[in-house]
Amino acid sequence: MRLHHARLLRSNGLSAPDTFYIAAGDEPDRDARGLVLSPGWMDLHAHLRDPGAPQKETLETGARSAAAGGFTHVVAMANTDPPTDSAGRLTELRRRSEALPIKVDFVGALTKGLTGDSLTDARALKSAGAVALSDDGRHALDAGLLEVGLWRAGGAGLPVLIHPQLERLGTEPAAEVEAIREAIEALRRTADAHLHLQHVSTQGSIGLIAAAKGAGLRLTAEVTPHHLALTAAELRISGPLAKVNPPLRTAADAIALREALIDGIVDVIATDHAPHEDAVKHDEETAAYGLHGFETALATVLTLGLPWEVVHRACVAGPRRILGQELLDEWVLIDPDQEWLVEPESFYSRGHNTPLKGRRMRGRVVMTVVGGKVVHGAEVAVA
């Protein structure tokens, strides 16, 4: 298949229009005028709810949803039921992932049962195929155990991904800032460790991250599309659908996060895809945290007006660099100008929980190609 007049997304921006050849079975040549051809996006932070909650998502529905969102590679968190805290569980997930249309990798839990009481076997999880360790969804371990966990993970060649939020302080900005401060101090005392901060949400965290990087610490950080684009005011509009953890913050926080992303203080964009069934997102007081991330991420990111080279770094190159992954034969064709209505019932995911329901957005995935196979594609004009 040849794409005529596509604009290729590179690390230094978009190339001039040209013709690109993609090995994609017997797919016909396509007229790609006005479209952007990007290497496949990678999501460093997703919840596929499998095993344990098939009413929310399965590996299969999550992978199809990710492909529709332009993600050719996603990393699934360990807070499943039961948690992915043993080599045997991780091996089984990897076996099941072989039939999926996109690449799905898995993190192993940092502590047994995600309780923060005792560490898992980092080397055994690495041997079983874990790409990182994380208790995401919890931050129950203390600074001392985190330090040991960083040391063991570093010895196994795995980064540690943390949900930086001291549980004793709730969900206020101070809970994030203090958790990051503690984690950075643990990192200073740990040679060869790599600490990654998940879903940074407040401007108070940015200075700590910048200083740690300036000191040469091996620290990386991510931000979600919703923390970049939405604020706490969204709760008045969308109610429980906008209830996430960490919470949506102020406009000043969102601006600071966007600036930090552009400056490279924050490394990547990750969705924190957290699908839920409708029944648990009705009442604001008791609603589950999280929103659907895969199929609205691209349009949300494009609304930010980021330079294309930043988009490439944050969504293509950065996540793979953090995990030491290679970019293989993975492509996504984007129509940056296509307007569409967010209709969650049409999502490939089982989770329809998005505060963007009913809104018109601009920017959509036309086609996703993995390993020479079109895994998601809408019809476009034949050349």
> What span, in angstroms and rounded, lies between the C-alpha atoms of 128 and 132?
11
Residue 20 burial by CB count (10 A; 0-12/13-18/19+): exposed, middle or buried? middle
Quick: pLDDT tens for 148-173: 999 999 999 999 999 999 999 999 99
User: Taking a C-beta distance cutoff of 8 angstroms, is the pair 160, 145 a contact?
Assistant: no
Phi and psi for 254 in degrees, rounded to 5? -60, -40
- Among the listed residues 272, 298, 164, 158, the one whose alpha carbon sits nearest the alpha carbon of residue 218: 158
Q: Residue 343: its pLDDT value, please?
A: 98
Quick: pLDDT tens for 302-349: 999 999 999 999 999 999 999 999 999 999 999 999 999 999 999 999
Quick: pLDDT tens for 177-202: 999 999 999 999 998 899 999 999 99
- The residue with tokens 């203390």 is 142
Catalytic positions: 272
Q: Residue 383: its pLDDT value, please?
A: 40
User: Taking a C-beta distance cutoff of 8 angstroms, is the pair 292, 62 a contact?
Assistant: no
Q: Residue 247: its pLDDT value, please?
A: 98
> Which H or E run contains 36?
strand 36-39
All structural domains of the chain with their residue ranges: 40-327
Range 108-137 average pLDDT? 98
* Residue 72 pLDDT exceeds 60: yes
- The residue with tokens 């601009």 is 362
pLDDT more than 70, % of the chain: 98
Q: Residue 238: its pLDDT value, please?
A: 97
Would you say the pTM of this structure is higher than 0.75?
Answer: yes
User: What is the band of 24 on the pLDDT scale with cuts at 50, 70, 90?
Assistant: confident
User: What is the band of 234 on the pLDDT scale with cuts at 50, 70, 90?
Assistant: very high
User: What is the band of 253 on the pLDDT scale with cuts at 50, 70, 90?
Assistant: very high
Classified by CATH at the fold level, domain 40-327 comes out as TIM Barrel (3.20.20)
Q: Residue 46: its pLDDT value, please?
A: 98
Q: Residue 382: its pLDDT value, please?
A: 40
* Residue 379 pLDDT exceeds 70: no
> What span, in angstroms and rounded, lies between the C-alpha atoms of 265 and 99?
37
Q: At 1, list the tokens.
A: 């298949």
Range 242-253 average pLDDT? 98
User: Taking a C-beta distance cutoff of 8 angstroms, is the pair 330, 304 a contact?
Assistant: no
User: Taking a C-beta distance cutoff of 8 angstroms, is the pair 271, 294 a contact?
Assistant: yes
pLDDT more than 90, % of the chain: 92
- Among the listed residues 40, 41, 31, the one whose alpha carbon sits nearest the alpha carbon of residue 6: 31
Angle between the N-to-C axes of helices 294-303 and 59-68, in degrees from 0 to 180, rounded to the nearest 10: 30
> What span, in angstroms and rounded, lies between the C-alpha atoms of 288 and 279?
10
* Residue 106 pLDDT exceeds 70: yes
Mean pLDDT of the chain: 96
> What span, in angstroms and rounded, lies between the C-alpha atoms of 334 and 349?
20
DSSP-derived secondary structure for 298-349: HHHHHHTT--HHHHHIIIIIHHHHHHTPPP-SEEEEEEEEEEEE--GGG-SS
